Amino acid sequence: MENERLYDITEVCALLGITSRTLRFYEEKRLINSTKRFSSRRKYTQEQIDLIKKILVLRSLGLTVAKISEIQKGDSNLSQAIIERRAEIIAKLSGMARTVRLLDEALHTIEHGGDIYGEHAETCGCADNETATLATDLFIKGEYEKIFGLFGKTMREYTPLSALKCIFADALLPLGKFVSLERIERDCNINTVFYSRLRYKKLGLVIKFVVQHGEINGLWLSYYEL
């Protein structure tokens, strides 16, 4: 429309609290378009400003410019993109928490005159447990009913099969295609706890099992960066 209000690039920057460089960058990446109706200076319609606001929201969530472009083109689903970004953050936090734990263990070892370079510093007691190994294989195959069959009485009561399937389905959403089983290891400090590390195309998945007398009495899922 000829009489539609146009906002100068300076006005838009002041309104949204961004720089002209940011707007030019978004134009270069074809996320937005400006209107140059009367001069060479970039001007924007209200509709274009609303689009910029949406882009800024998605950027604040940590979505990349490439991912936002895919969403605009309809090549990527917004909900799925947010789920994937959330999983990435969780993976980073999980990795950092694991590093903190290892640092604490190393410091404790040093303070008590131990050797952090010993061959068992990271993998002491690392041995496959038949139940954890079987459950991991069943998870990879998607045979969740059989995993449920390995649960102890309390686990069955608090995590029914229908809930278990939903938990697994939600956890798999951001991972992409399964690639490989990296390893199964026993916790160095708690011999009833095992960790199965699975590699997927986009992220890694850790399944933490608590196994007692051949039964699974605890199960947690977390992500890690590849």
pLDDT average, residue stretch 109-130: 62
Task: Name residue, tokens 């936002």.
Answer: 68
pLDDT, tens digit, for every residue of 11-65? 999 999 999 999 999 999 999 998 875 667 888 999 999 999 999 999 999 999 9
Round to whole Å and give the CA distance between 135 and 36.
62
Q: State the burial class of residue 59 (Cβ atoms within 10 Å of its Cβ: 0-12, 13-18, 19+).
A: middle
All domains of the chain, ordered by start, with CATH? 7-76 (1.10.1660.10), 81-224 (3.10.450.590)
What are residue 57's phi and psi, to 5 degrees?
-65, -45
What is the per-residue pLDDT for 167?
Answer: 92
Q: What percent of the chain has pLDDT over 90?
A: 54
What is the per-residue pLDDT for 112?
Answer: 82
Q: Check if the beta carbon of residue 133 is closer than 8 Å to that of residue 207.
A: no
- Computed over every residue of the chain, the mean pLDDT equals 86
Structure tokens at 6: 């146009």
Residue 126: band (very low, low, confident or very high) from pLDDT cuts 50, 70, 90 = very low
pLDDT average, residue stretch 134-145: 93
**Residues, the chain:** 226
Q: Which residues contact 59 (CB under 8 A, 6 or more apart)?
A: 65, 68
Angle at which helix 65-73 crosses helix 46-60, to 10 degrees, equals 130
The DSSP output letter for 37 is: S
Instruction: Identify the three-state secondary structure at position 222.
Output: strand
Task: Name residue, tokens 């947690």.
Answer: 220
Choose among 198, 163, 186, 216: nearest CA to 91: 198
The yes-or-no verdict on residue 204 having pLDDT over 60 is yes
pLDDT average, residue stretch 201-225: 92
Q: What percent of the chain has pLDDT over 70?
A: 90
Round to whole Å and give the CA distance between 64 and 162.
35
The yes-or-no verdict on residue 68 having pLDDT over 60 is yes
Three-class HEC string of 172-203? HCCCCCEEEEEEEEECCCCCCEEEEEEEECCC
What is the per-residue pLDDT for 39?
Answer: 64
Comparing 103 with 54, the larger pLDDT belongs to 54
